[in-house]
Amino acid sequence: MYQRPMFQILLARLKERRRFLQVLAGPRQSGKTTLAQQAFEAISLPGHYASADAPTLQSPTWLEQQWEVARLLLRERGGRGGAVLVLDEIQKVPGWSEVVKRHWDGDSAARLPLKVVLLGSAPLLVQRGLTESLAGRFEVIPVPHWSFPEMQAAFGWSLDQFLFYGGYPGAAELISDPSRWTRYILDALIETTIARDVLLMTRVDKPALLRRLFQLGCAHSGQVLSYQKMLGQLQDAGNTTTLAHYLELLAGAGMLTGLAKFSLERVRQRASSPKLQVLNTALLTAQTPVAFAEARRTPEFWGRLVESAVGAHLLNSSAGTPAEVFYWRERGREVDFVVRMGKRVVAIEVKSGASKGILPGMAAFTHTFRPQRTLLVGGGGLPLEQFFRTPTAALVAEWPRARTEGG
Give pLDDT tens digits for 203-232: 898 999 999 999 999 999 999 999 999 988
Which one of 142, 176, 193 terminates a domain?
Answer: 142
Residues 48 and 168 in one domain: no
Asked if residue 339 is part of any domain, the answer here is yes
Asked if residue 403 is part of any domain, the answer here is no
- What range defines the domain where residue 380 resides? 148-396
Residues 120 and 198 in one domain: no
pLDDT at 113: 93
Residues 120 and 14 in one domain: yes
Q: Which residues pair with 127 in a beta bridge?
A: none
pLDDT at 272: 85
User: What is the SS3 assignment for 123-143?
Assistant: HHHHHHHHHHHCCCCEEEEEC
Asked if residue 405 is part of any domain, the answer here is no
| Whether the Cβ atoms of residue 324 and residue 238 lie closer than 8 Å to each other | no
DSSP 87: E
Which one of 100, 117, 142 terminates a domain?
Answer: 142
Q: Which residues pair with 141 in a beta bridge?
A: 24
The domain tally of the chain equals 2
DSSP string, 386-406: HHHTS-HHHHHSPPPPPPPTT
What's the whole-number mean pLDDT along residues 324-334? 94
Residues 382 and 327 in one domain: yes
DSSP 173: G
pLDDT at 53: 85
Residues 167 and 132 in one domain: no
Residues 237 and 257 in one domain: yes
Residues 119 and 213 in one domain: no
Asked if residue 25 is part of any domain, the answer here is yes
CA gap 253, 194 in Å, rounded: 8
pLDDT at 59: 92
Would you say residue 402 has pLDDT above 60?
A: no
| Whether the Cβ atoms of residue 162 and residue 385 lie closer than 8 Å to each other | no
Which one of 85, 116, 142 terminates a domain?
Answer: 142
Residues 278 and 343 in one domain: yes
Residues 235 and 322 in one domain: yes
Asked if residue 290 is part of any domain, the answer here is yes
Would you say residue 334 has pLDDT above 80?
A: yes
CA gap 357, 340 in Å, rounded: 25
What's the whole-number mean pLDDT along residues 174-199? 94
Asked if residue 407 is part of any domain, the answer here is no
Asked if residue 401 is part of any domain, the answer here is no
Which one has a higher pLDDT value, 14 or 403?
14
pLDDT at 406: 47
| Whether the Cβ atoms of residue 212 and residue 236 lie closer than 8 Å to each other | yes
Residues 116 and 181 in one domain: no
Asked if residue 209 is part of any domain, the answer here is yes
SS3 224: strand
Would you say residue 44 has pLDDT above 60?
A: yes
What's the whole-number mean pLDDT along residues 155-177? 97
Residues 97 and 123 in one domain: yes
Residues 120 and 152 in one domain: no
Residue 26's domain is classified under what CATH number? 3.40.50.300
What are the tens digits of pLDDT across the range 76-96?
876 677 899 999 999 889 889
Would you say residue 405 has pLDDT above 60?
A: no
Would you say residue 404 has pLDDT above 50?
A: no
